Amino acid sequence: MDERKDHLWKVAEEAEQRIDELMERGTAVGTLGVDVGTSKVVAARPKGKSVETASQLNAFMVVPWSRVTEKTLSQNEIAYYREGDELVIFGTDTDRFANMFNAEARRPMANGVLNPREKAAMGVLETILQAIVPKARAQGDILAFSVPAALPGREAELTYHEGTLRRYFEGMGYKAVAVNEGLAIIFSELEDENFSGIGISCGGGMCNGTVAFLSIPTIMFSIAKGGDFIDQSAGAVLNEHSTRVKIMKEEGLDLGRAPKDKFERALHIYYEDLVESLAEALRGALSRAEKLPRSDRALPIVISGGTAKPRGFRELFERALKSRSYPIEFAGVRMAADPLTATARGALVAAMYEK
Amino acid sequence: MRTVDAVGRGIEDPVLKLRFLRTSLKNYRRRDEVIGRVPWPSLRRFLYQWFTVGGLQRLLRNPLAVSLPVRGRARRSLRLAQGALVLTAASVAATAGGLTLFAMRLFRAEEAPVMAADAAPAPPAAAVVPVAAGTTEPEPGGPPETLGQRPAGIWQVEKGDGWELYSNGLRIETGYAVLGDKRRYRVFDQDVLSPETFDRPVGILFHTSESDVWPLEPGFNENLRGSTHRLLRYLAREKTYHYLIDRFGRVYRVVEDEAKANHAGHSVWQDEGRVYLNLNHAFLGVSFETRWEGGRALPITEAQFGSGKNLTAWLRQRWDIAPSMCVAHGLTSVNPRRHLIGHHLDWARGFPFASFGLPDAYSRPAPSVALFGFGYDSDFLKVLGEPWSGVFHAERALESEAARLGRSADDLRRDKRALYDRWLQEQARVDDSPRVPTLGG
């Protein structure tokens, strides 16, 4: 059955649920945007009149195999697979499981690219991706996946990362296109500004920024600090596992309020460090640029990503920007409509553009 | 650049906007290299502006740009820019006339279509469309409809194995045609279900096929051909639509005109006091091979445009179909359970009615709203931004009616929706129209 089924929705006697079934089976997918982030992988695809997204935590942990453990995982519907004498727990359940056992979750990626210290990195990442990326339905289906900007001196790692992911997605039958993370945010959030502005993604492994003018990226920059940096640094000074710090961080940190305990104090300190580094990286990138975008309008800045989610982050970043001078004018800082899915949504726009 | 920016801001669909910007900038860079060699700064500036504005104007004049929504403000800014250029041209021409002409020739040859997926194909074989007098007024910048001689009418000139040729140049491929179920329907005439059963089509519904849309480039030839044939096999099996017009403008008959096809689902239309519910039987389905994406149909090709006009003209002549009965599926489709319009939205915006010699169905009061009090939800608005003007007209008419009766509009709407439910049940008892799906599925 190689015919397209999308137009089934046009058959007269169709029922709404039939369309939903088709969507659920992935038959309506012709384009897909995937944010392959250090902390999370998020896929976005068109669904009827809107866009639907799915995500998985990009993490895993390994526990020794025993019949009892496997049965427990199975009964609790925790995603895992067996590898020899070990059970690999992966995806969204990993943090919960790691916290429960006071263990450290591991990541297939670090600093935005495949983790060179994890031998099983690509295998685990593939398993996680399989949970949210269906095989291509037809020749010519396009998948756009996000890649970070290269850290200075580590361009080769990015080349390997991008090439490996491209091969994997092509193996699933897609025409795979890489899109820079910051640009994806611009595609997703700055449509009304003709895709002109600055998109910044604050992810788990790093922060990425792109300056684009009329959709053309002109400057890219990145820093090797992200959510993991905050979790690990705070964990180290608090003598806590970073997984536990991460959970506490996500439970309602407010960077606009004075810290109320030592956990929050540590998180505030490292957040301020990250934001200062980011503002400085933007200043450095703009100062070094040979050609700056010529525009009559001030450029808006959009921030996105899980690390930017805590309340007060935007204001903190704005303060850091104001304490420096820049060769171009900014039209304020705003948060993406949905910081966790903005990159995937932007990648979907890139995929639809390629279609 | 400012003009590109201004026009880009007027395009509402993000993907089309991205394509527009990228292609415009690509052209800009290509020209930039050449124009940069011109030694006089004022002439360089003029050439930059001319090619940017000129290229954009051509895009806006293109009747196929129906799918490229450009707001009025952007159009105005473009016109102003061009007006300013005319003045500049006069002075520049005086000093560098010869060189300008040479440069214009050189660069015009390089003009590329702005839409990557819309590379201009060969013009349609025949663009002469004989329809009722007064309906063929050409749109500004449209194809040269007045050139050439029109036949006195449309008749079948020749018929071969798998094709038919008509006097207006229309060629119908019949190799995929299947017999459908017998057409029989009743209408609500002056609010009463007519006892008479009809078997002739009285209208045309325009659809989009919702299938793959490949770039019109030689490198995609296999995909272009392959996806059309797969689509046709599917349509024939499911008896969906009467005609499909592929991206090269070939017209395929899918279901014989005399039979019903599955194309309309729950739908409502009204004309001359007659109300039609569920239009599979009463209307012919003509589908353009394109896709509804980001709130509008992707652009059809020039060839599809020409063939669509010729096919419409032939069907209207053959079945004596009134222009007011030629309408887009998206304007008729409803969700009966939730009493919402726009259940399907194909061509709910952007169908070139005027170029087809048809009245603008978008501005006509929407029968589903005026007669049956249907509404729309936030999903509908998310896709379309705002309803077509006919919905507003219908809502105003409904509110006036409520005021006249001394009732609230909501109250009246409830009654009208109940009327629709009754009529639907009544019709379902006498034919095979789809029934309202129950909540349990």
Residues of B in contact with A6 (CB under 8 A): 210-211, 291
Q: Which of B196, B330, B172 is closest to B256 using CA atoms? A: B172
Q: Which of B310, B362, B286 is closest to B131 using CA atoms? A: B310
Please judge whether B344 and A9 are an interchain contact, meaning their C-beta atoms are less than 8 angstroms apart: yes
Answer whether A294 touches B (CB < 8 Å).
yes
- CB nearest A7 (choices: B25, B209, B264): B209
Answer whether A30 touches B (CB < 8 Å).
yes
* Rounded (5°) CA angle B237-B241-B242: 100
Residues A324 and A280 sit within 8 Å (Cβ to Cβ): yes
Chain B 107-136, residues with CB within 8 Å of chain A CB atoms: 117
Comparison of pLDDT for B26 and B114, the residue scoring more: B26
- CB nearest B382 (choices: A49, A187, A355): A49
Answer whether A293 touches B (CB < 8 Å).
no
Chain B 321-360, residues with CB within 8 Å of chain A CB atoms: 329, 335, 344-346
Pairing of strands B203-208, A330-335: unpaired
- CB nearest A15 (choices: B4, B291, B441): B441
Instruction: Identify the pLDDT of residue B44.
Output: 64
Q: For A67-90, what is each residue's pLDDT tens digit?
A: 888 888 888 778 888 888 888 888
Q: For B174-232, what is each residue's pLDDT tens digit?
A: 999 999 899 999 999 888 898 889 999 999 999 999 888 888 888 888 888 888 999 99
Mean pLDDT confidence for A206-219: 89
Determine the 3-state secondary structure of A302 from DSSP: strand
Query: Residue A199 half-sphere exposure, CB side, CA atoms within 13 Å?
Result: 35
Mean pLDDT confidence for A286-302: 78
Residues of A in contact with B333 (CB under 8 A): none
Instruction: Identify the pLDDT of residue B200.
Output: 95
Give yes or no for residue B106 having a pLDDT over 50: no
Answer whether A342 touches B (CB < 8 Å).
no
Share of chain A above pLDDT 70, in %: 89
Q: A153: burial class by Cβ within 10 Å (0-12, 13-18, 19+)?
A: exposed
Q: A64: burial class by Cβ within 10 Å (0-12, 13-18, 19+)?
A: exposed
Answer whether A296 touches B (CB < 8 Å).
yes
Q: For A304-355, what is each residue's pLDDT tens digit?
A: 998 998 989 999 999 999 888 888 888 889 999 999 999 999 999 999 888 7
Residues of A in contact with B214 (CB under 8 A): 140
- Give the count of Cβ contacts less than 8 A between chain A and B: 108
Q: Which of A130, A119, A10, A66 is closest to B263 using CA atoms? A: A10
Confidence of residue A247 (pLDDT cuts 50, 70, 90): confident
Give the whole-angstrom CA distance, residue A124 versus residue A109: 10
Comparison of pLDDT for A44 and B135, the residue scoring more: A44
Determine the 3-state secondary structure of A42 from DSSP: strand
Q: Which tokens hold the place of B40?
A: 């006089």
User: What is the full DSSP assignment across B232-247?
Assistant: HHHHHHHT--SEEE-T
Q: Which residue stretches of A289-341 are H helix? A: 313-322
Give the whole-angstrom CA distance, residue B342 versus residue B374: 10
- CB nearest A3 (choices: B22, B234, B264): B234
Shortest distance between the Cα of B357 and any Cα of chain A, in A, equals: 26
Q: Which tokens hold the place of B17?
A: 């906007």
Determine the 3-state secondary structure of B87 from DSSP: helix
Shortest distance between the Cα of A142 and any Cα of chain B, in A, equals: 12
In sequence order, the 6+-apart residues with CB closer than 8 A to the CB of B161 are: none
Give the whole-angstrom CA distance, residue B8 versus residue B61: 16
Q: Enter the pTM of the model.
A: 0.50
Complex-level ipTM: 0.73
Residues of B in contact with A349 (CB under 8 A): 14-15, 18
Chain B 391-430, residues with CB within 8 Å of chain A CB atoms: none
Please judge whether A49 and B383 are an interchain contact, meaning their C-beta atoms are less than 8 angstroms apart: yes
